Structure 1
Amino acid sequence: MWGNPRTENVTTDVPGNTCRAPSTPKFMRISRILPLSQMREGRPGAATRPQEPGYDQWSLEHHGLIVDKVVEEVKPKVLLELGTYCGYSAVRMGRLLPPGGHLFTIEFNESFAAIAQQIIQLAGLQEKISILKGPTEEIIPQLKKKYEINTVDMVFLDHWKDRYLPDTRLLEESGLLRKGSVLLADNVILPGAPEFLQYIRNHKGFECTHYPSMLEYLPMKDGLEKAVFLG
């Protein structure tokens, strides 16, 4: 039986009568949110501002506000992201890093990594964000020696959901979590990461908070899970 995490709601204004099912692939929606023609180098806000109203944009922004809240609370000097995709969340989190902070984001897909690198450069955050190319199960054990990362302050999990649990265990086994390190996992309800939730909610070494949300592109319940490592 799963443990009972604390539940915390982050509210935003829902646009009236604009809820609709998406009609375009996720990649195209990302390109709408990150329109190259409207971005200016060195202005990360332009890379995170939704350009069209509607349910999918509201839900994506709601997810983003939850991530913003956690990043602002943690103030991570070392932030690790698992799953870069096209760089939206990396830019969103990178713009909130404290002075001297750095974000390392892992992406195994070369094409996605190339797109994300362009987005990061256009946002003017290339000095704050590094893309590490390869599978998480290979890169995580290399973080200490190859990338000189002793411990991480925050980890954002947004890659393959069946990797949430093994990569969390790998972070523990590699000694990358310190007392107070925060894991923030997206889409834990849909598509879902039940084994991950069962593990951290019943682990005496984690204190969990659940943030209810909606799936980014469909009117279905989802959520993010924050787990603070207690050491």
Structure 2
Amino acid sequence: LVVTGFERSEETRALIQASGVPCVHVMETSRAPGVHCVGFSQQDAGYALTQHLLAGGARRIAFAAAQLDARVMQRAEGYRRALREAGCYEPALEMLRPEPSSIALGGHMFARLMSESAPEAIFFCNDDLAQGALMAAPRLGIPVPGQVAVAGFNDLPGSDQLMPSLTSVRTPRETIGEEAALMLLRLMRGEPVPKPCVELPWSLVVRESTAPPHEAERPAKAGRQGLSKAEG
């Protein structure tokens, strides 16, 4: 089995363990004994993206999220940690919606945040939400990043083609899949697994939605050992 994360009921965990079927968890990491996983620190990535927004001068930073799974909430914890350290965390600037993430929802959340809270920056938990925000901004007459900086997560296709291009965290989804498949094959063959927990690098890609044009293509901070250049 390849399963996403560790968000399972006790009954499901017991069934997986009792089945004897090899299992690899992806997108999150755990050092618990007997656990095999491939992922990255969602919290560290969320923390770094929030630090980037703080470094740009924003203090009133909103967090907009949908589809509130464990990985989204870990990003939220990174956001909160960075703002608490900076002394400017405002719980009222969090907008958490349980429904599926979408471009349309992102536009709606952006409009509501700007009319009700007027943040200086918005950290969207996924790129489709942030893409919707950037599409809605011209219709609302809100310049990005002039009035508000906008950032996403996952660096989905098209994020570098928007106007302005979208700052995002590039996550190693393809590499996670490859490493998980290799780990699962070793388990199925009864071979030793050198590293039961593989933590991969992510990278912060700074583009125009959070940076002046002359800064939008500079290399950005990376998680662990990864480093990426903006392409927008």
Q: Give the TM-score normalised by structure 1.
A: 0.48
Q: Which has the higher contact order (CA 8 A, sep 6+)?
A: 1
Looking at CA atoms only, which structure, 1 or 2, has the larger radius of gyration?
Answer: 2
Higher strand share: 1
- The TM-score, its normalising length taken from structure 2, stands at 0.48
